């Protein structure tokens, strides 16, 4: 039997389609399809039921898949032991981060200096990436996690605070209390008609509903930050992603006692028995170095 066909078969099942498996392994879809067909001929057994909508394992296919998956895990574990004993871990780690994940730049740069033999392939997108289908090892995600099949490590809390540029504050003045926002321009995030109603929380646990007004509405936080930097108005932005640029240099936090309580920032990976040494090294490095105020974020 040609054992080179088995990894393609496993990837097809894990990814849920020939198209996704082929993309993850960097081969044409026809190659993946032919490999599985040839494997079935060699085994003289039908492994898959093919329909226009989905792929389903036959009973024999399920049994073969479980055995082959266990064998793959054993081989990967043996490889991991060799890698851990080697002088230097190498290979590629695929990491996806959102568009406004600027503090990750210094973290990844520091990691590659420490582990020059490991290549980090960073995919920057706000799209919700299917890690298994697209062959992604790690992902930085903010907010609520809905996929229970992922292993998550919390890096930070994604609370939001108000920030402005020194130029804007020099021209318009600094708001001293929450009611002062009514006389200021705010760069609005995903709002309509130039105003936005939202609930804010104070450091003491109080809550207030306010209506924010502004000349521009944006659906991307990195663009909000850019507009704030250019003095368009005050922006409500993730605090832990802004610490590195506050202090009056580029951004200044205003009304520091008020903001929005957000979800967590997590580093996630597909649930798996074996994690390659190179992936584990990067995951641990990000976890240890992703700290508010020390990282220079989605």
Q: Where in the chain is the domain with CATH 1.10.10.10?
A: 5-85
- 280 vs 21, higher pLDDT: 280
Per-residue burial over 218-253, b if 16 or more Cβ lie within 10 Å, else e, is beebbbbbebbbebbbbbbbbbbbbbbbbeeeebbb
Reported as a single tens digit per residue, the pLDDT across 272-287 is 777 888 899 999 999 9
User: What pLDDT is stored for residue 82 in this prediction?
Assistant: 63
Is the CATH number of domain 91-157+263-289 3.40.190.10? yes
Least Cα distance to 117 among 83, 151, 167 occurs for: 83
How far is Cα 251 from Cα 267, in angstroms, rounded to an integer? 27
* pTM of the predicted protein model: 0.58
How far is Cα 192 from Cα 94, in angstroms, rounded to an integer? 37
For Cα atoms 140, 131, 118, give the angle at the middle one, nearest 5 degrees.
70
Reported as a single tens digit per residue, the pLDDT across 143-164 is 777 766 788 888 887 788 999 9
3-class secondary structure, 85: helix
Is the CATH number of domain 160-260 1.10.1660.10? no
Collect contacts of 226-230 with beta carbons under 8 A, ≥24 apart.
227/187, 228/163, 228/164, 228/165, 228/168, 228/187, 229/165, 230/165
Domain range 5-85, its CATH number among 1.10.1200.10, 1.10.10.10, 3.40.190.10, 2.10.10.90:
1.10.10.10
Least Cα distance to 123 among 109, 111, 133, 138 occurs for: 138
Longest dimension (CA), the chain: 78
Q: Where in the chain is the domain with CATH 3.40.190.290?
A: 160-260
Q: Are 11 and 21 a contacting pair, CB within 8 Å?
A: yes
Reported as a single tens digit per residue, the pLDDT across 166-203 is 999 999 999 999 999 999 999 998 887 788 888 999 88
Residue 44, token pair as written in the block: 């003289």
How far is Cα 131 from Cα 275, in angstroms, rounded to an integer? 14
Residue 162, token pair as written in the block: 């108000």
Q: Where in the chain is the domain with CATH 3.40.190.10?
A: 91-157+263-289
User: What pLDDT is stored for residue 192 in this prediction?
Assistant: 77
- Between the alpha carbon of residue 104 and those of residues 110, 180, 282, the distances in Å are 10, 34, 12
């Amino acid at each position: 039997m040609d054992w080179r066909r088995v990894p393609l078969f496993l990837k097809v099942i894990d990814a849920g389609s020939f198209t996704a498996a082929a993309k993850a392994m960097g081969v044409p879809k026809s190659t993946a399809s032919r490999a599985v067909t040839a494997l079935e001929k060699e085994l003289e057994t039908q492994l898959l039921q093919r329909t226009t909508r989905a792929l389903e394992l036959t009973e024999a296919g399920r049994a073969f898949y479980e055995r082959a998956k266990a064998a793959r895990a054993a081989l990967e574990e043996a490889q991991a032991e060799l890698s851990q004993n080697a002088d230097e871990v190498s290979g590629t780690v695929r990491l996806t981060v959102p568009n406004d994940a600027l503090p990750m730049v210094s973290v990844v740069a520091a990691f590659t200096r420490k582990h020059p033999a490991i290549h980090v392939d960073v995919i920057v997108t706000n799209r919700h990436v299917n890690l298994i289908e697209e062959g992604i090892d790690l992902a930085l995600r903010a907010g609520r996690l809905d996929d229970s099949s992922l292993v998550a490590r919390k890096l930070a809390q994604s609370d939001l605070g108000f920030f402005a540029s020194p130029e804007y504050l020099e021209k318009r003045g600094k708001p001293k209390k929450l009611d002062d926002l009514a006389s200021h321009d705010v760069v609005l995030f995903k709002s309509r008609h130039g105003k936005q109603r939202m609930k804010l929380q104070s450091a003491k646990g109080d809550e207030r509903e306010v209506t924010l007004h502004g000349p521009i509405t944006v659906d991307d936080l990195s663009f909000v930050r850019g507009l704030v930097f250019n003095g368009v108005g005050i922006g409500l932005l993730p605090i832990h992603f802004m610490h590195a640029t506050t202090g009056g240099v580029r951004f200044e936090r205003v009304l520091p006692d008020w903001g929005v309580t957000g979800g967590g920032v997590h580093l996630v990976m597909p649930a798996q028995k074996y994690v390659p040494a190179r992936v584990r090294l990067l995951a641990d490095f990000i976890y240890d170095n992703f700290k508010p105020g020390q990282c220079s974020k989605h």
